[in-house]
């Protein structure tokens, strides 16, 4: 199961070593899934390192994928899924060929519909917070209630339970989990505690 608790830590940093340690701290704290963006230096090597260190027990994805050629690199690194920032049908096709779960970025109802037609198993509504957050998803639920959503872009830990209760499959946490300050100061305890809070919020939404 790629999103075991519905929470995904999304790493975006220029410091690969700090990012690697931050991901391990988040996993220790209970974050169920990790996405490493292609903007992270040596991102595919980092994916390999996380897979090796965790014994492959934590699902790992590669995000901010623009090029279908990166899908093979993600697969070779041991990734379980690929995420795009925008609607890219050619990446969805590459994911189908490589048998990787595909998450396509979309924002408007038309883009969300087109992402599903293109073969996205999940549709990442991004950036969710500037366009209304939870209320935007609630508005989509009527005509598009069957879509498996991922939300990210300004999501706070306090929003996780509300999103999951609406049926959202995955909530992406970027700065609210991997803050610039924590990464700069290598403050793994803070990241671990935030991960624990996020995991607890997800558990409360599921009724665990």
pLDDT digits (tens, 9 = 90+) for 130-179: 999 999 999 999 899 899 999 999 999 999 999 999 999 999 999 999 99
pLDDT at position 125: 98
Mean pLDDT of the 90-102 span: 98
Residue 29 lies in a domain: yes
Q: What angle, rounded to 10 degrees, do the helices at 89-98 and 69-77 form?
A: 40
Residue 198 lies in a domain: yes
Residue 149 lies in a domain: yes
Residue 119 Rama label (left phi>0; alpha psi -120 to 50; beta):
left
Residue 35 lies in a domain: yes
Residue 139 lies in a domain: yes
Question: Has residue 115 got a pLDDT over 90?
Answer: yes
* CATH number of residue 38's parent domain: 3.20.20.70
CA pair distance 9, 177, nearest whole angstrom:
7
Question: Has residue 124 got a pLDDT over 70?
Answer: yes
And the tokens for 105?
């970025």
Percent of the chain exceeding pLDDT 70 equals: 100
Question: Has residue 206 got a pLDDT over 90?
Answer: no
Q: How many domains does the structure of the chain reveal?
A: 1
Q: Does the CA dihedral 59-63-66-70 come out positive or negative?
A: negative
Mean pLDDT of the 56-85 span: 98
The reported pTM is 0.96
Residue 208 lies in a domain: no
Residues paired with 10 in a beta bridge: 35
Other CB atoms within 10 Å distance of the CB of residue 113: 15
Residue 2 lies in a domain: no
| Sequential DSSP letters for 145-195 | TTS-EEE-SS--GGGHHHHHHTT-SEEEESTTTS-HHHHHTT-HHHHHHHH
Can you give the residue range of the structural domain that contains 60?
7-202
And the tokens for 14?
């220029």
Residue 61 lies in a domain: yes
**Of the candidates 59, 119, 61, 62, the residue with the CA atom closest to the CA atom of residue 88:** 119
Q: What angle, rounded to 10 degrees, do the helices at 134-144 and 109-118 form?
A: 60
The tens digit of pLDDT for each residue in 12-58 reads: 999 999 999 999 999 999 999 999 999 999 999 999 999 999 999 99
- With a CB cutoff of 8 Å and minimum separation 6, the contacts of 142 are none
């Amino acid at each position: 199961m790629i999103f075991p608790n519905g929470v995904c830590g999304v790493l975006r940093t220029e410091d690969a070593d700090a990012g690697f340690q931050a991901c391990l701290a988040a996993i220790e704290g209970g974050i169920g899934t990790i996405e490493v963006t292609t903007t992270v230096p040596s991102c595919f090597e980092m994916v390999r390192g996380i897979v090796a260190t965790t014994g492959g027990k934590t699902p790992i994805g590669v995000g901010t994928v623009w090029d279908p050629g990166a899908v093979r690199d993600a697969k070779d690194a041991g990734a379980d899924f690929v995420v795009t920032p925008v609607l890219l049908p050619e990446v969805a096709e590459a994911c189908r060929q490589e048998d990787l779960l595909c998450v396509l970025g979309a924002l408007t109802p038309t883009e969300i519909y087109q992402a599903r037609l293109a073969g996205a198993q999940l549709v990442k509504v991004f950036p969710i917070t500037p366009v209304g957050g939870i209320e935007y998803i609630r508005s989509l639920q009527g005509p598009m209630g069957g879509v498996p959503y991922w939300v990210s872009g300004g999501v706070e830990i306090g929003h996780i339970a509300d999103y999951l209760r609406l049926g959202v499959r995955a909530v992406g946490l970027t700065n609210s989990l991997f803050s610039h300050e924590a990464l700069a100061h290598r403050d793994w305890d803070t990241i671990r505690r935030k991960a624990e809070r996020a995991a607890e919020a997800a558990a409360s939404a599921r009724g665990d």
